[in-house]
Amino acid sequence: MISSDPILTCDAARKFEAGLFGGDEAKEWSAMQQAGRAVAASLLEDFLEIGGFSATGRVLVLVGKGHNGGDALLAAQAVLERHPAAYVDVLFAFGTRDLRPLAAQAYRSLAEAAVNRVRAIRGDDLTGEYELCLDGVFGFQFRPPVGTEVAALLARVNALSIRLRAAVDLPSAGQFRADFTYATGSVKTPVLTDRNAGRVRYLDLGFFTGEEEGADRVLTAGILAPLGGLRPPDGDKRSQGHLLVLGGSRSYPGAVLMSVLSALHSGVGLVTAFVPESLAPAFAARAPEAMWVGCPETTEGGVALEALHLLQLRLARANALVIGPGLGREPETFALVTDLLKTVRLPVLLDADALQPEFVKAAKSPLVLTPHAGEFARIAGKTALRVYSRKHRATVVLKGPITRVSDGETTYHSLFGGPVLARGGSGDLLAGLIGGLLAQTPTDPLLAASRGVVWHGRAADLLARTYGQTAVTTTQLLDFLPTALRNL
């Protein structure tokens, strides 16, 4: 079971919420309070990536007529509860006369909870700097076009100096430029392609039962829960799976080492790595937990064809195989991979230089492919992700700002992680992590891939919140993999 919730169109979200609340304002108010608290908690965590929310921060709340404005107001209230020296400016984009009852109630709640720290302002009062801006002008009920006055207001806000810009559910009219968008209760399809949405966070408010269908879904952290639990007391290293890794070259020595280090953190029982013989001694000193097999080398320093028998000797005792990190593109190494894929029956993960059309065609076993956009174009051309996955009966992890995992029937979106992953080696860590999970669940490649993506992303979030996005190294992410399994 993949822990996930459906992604809804705006029309589907309207119908879903109408059925969920049935017009009951008490239920809607309770959900609005829950949403406001969730937005505040999440954005304060995200603030840690830039040093945290200033204790005396100035908050700007943009309010429309409806529930989005109410969510933003209650989020501001929750922020003020955590930071008693902060204060809020509220700008009503359409005035207060047309506020829906729950939005008006949210404003009263904020004003009563933070006496003398809340003021209503006009557009002409927008001066100076703000710590935070909460955009709650339009939600998924918005129907274009946006009026000229509101468009001018959003443009004016975009030009302000604001440390963090947060949109509730969707950036208003697609014009508010958000650093983060907090999808409350459900993820609506427009937010996934809105260039102004920034990073999207899904705030699960418990609206779904887990039985709802949908070909596009958002992954939730609950997929990691089994990894954070107790392991069988009578298990041994062989019962936790055995992963083989083939990669490395003198030109790209570090990639395979990073993959192996990540695999060793996955919970897998055994890892055997096949690398050029000149690299094996140094790697064994760096990661003695793995079994390093030094392979014959080509003249350029890649793994030579003669290594095939070394791999075949160990295939019967393995549960999964990763090919590609640091492999290089020498013809002899490619010939080795082709011959190997024609015979191996283990689930295989292809990454980096092993993402070649001929390798996908040669494989006889279940495949997991982990391309970024450029590598996917190399193997798939203009074929869509789901179509390509179905055609090749492969689980494809298409890495990007929103990583998508597809088995050809369903596409799962991961909203974890961020720009801290936009550096060399993060894909090598992901390949090793998924590979280790695949060796533990070889009959369920989709689960292993989805679980690895979420785990990798959560660790990246923790890394960025601890040290920021800039002055870090890729392998520091490994230190946060244990913590990412806590508090699920």
Is residue 357 over pLDDT 90?
yes
Query: Which amino acid, one-letter code, is at 422?
Result: A
Q: In this predicted model, what pLDDT tens digit does every residue of 267-304 receive, in sequence order?
A: 999 999 999 999 999 999 999 999 999 999 999 999 99
* Average pLDDT over every residue of 386-395: 98
Backbone region of residue 397 per phi and psi (left: phi > 0; alpha: psi in -120 to 50; beta: other values): beta
Q: In 3D, which of 339, 328, 320, 346 has the Cα closest to residue 276?
A: 328
Q: Give the Å distances, CA to CA, from 114 to 77, 78, 107, 176, 482.
A: 7, 10, 11, 27, 39
Where residue 136 falls among pLDDT bands split at 50, 70, 90? very high
141 pLDDT tier (thresholds 50, 70, 90): confident
Q: How confident is the model at residue 142 (pLDDT cuts 50, 70, 90)?
A: confident
Backbone dihedral region for residue 12 (phi beyond 0: left; psi -120 to 50: alpha; all else: beta): alpha
- To the nearest whole number, what is the mean pLDDT of the chain? 96
For the chain, give percent helix, strand, coil, nearest 5: 45, 20, 35
Q: Is 91 helix (H, G, I), strand (E, B) or coil?
A: strand
Is 75 exposed, middle or buried (CB count within 10 Å of its CB: 0-12, 13-18, 19+)? buried
Q: Give all strands of the β-sheet with 180-184 in edge-to-edge order.
A: 118-121, 87-92, 58-63, 129-136, 161-168, 180-184, 199-203
Question: Helix, strand or coil for residue 57?
Answer: coil
The pLDDT of residue 414 is above 90: yes
Read off the pLDDT band of 106 (50, 70, 90): very high
Strand, helix or coil at 181?
A: strand
What is the pLDDT at residue 56? 94
For strand 129-136 and strand 161-168, is the pairing parallel, antiparallel, or unpaired? parallel
pLDDT bracket for residue 143 (50, 70, 90): confident
Model pLDDT, residue 281: 97
pLDDT for residue 1: 80
- Supply 466's token pair: 């601890």
CB 320 within 8 A of CB 439: yes
**Cβ-proximal residues to 125 (8 Å cutoff; 6+ apart), any chain:** 89, 91
| Pairing relationship of beta strands 411-414 and 216-219 according to DSSP bridges | parallel
Counting DSSP H helices and E strands in the chain, the numbers are: 14, 19
pLDDT of residue 238: 87
Instruction: For residue 242, give the nearest of 261, 268, 265, 275 by alpha carbon.
Output: 268
Please tell me the predicted confidence (pLDDT) of residue 211.
Answer: 83
- Residue matched to tokens 């070394």: 310
Overall average pLDDT of the 429-455 stretch:
98
Q: Which domains does the chain have, with CATH numbers?
A: 4-214 (3.40.50.10260), 224-485 (3.40.1190.20)
Predicted confidence (pLDDT) per residue in 8-22, tens digit: 999 999 999 999 999
pLDDT of residue 355: 98
pTM of the entire predicted model: 0.97
CA atoms within 13 A on the CB side of 267: 23
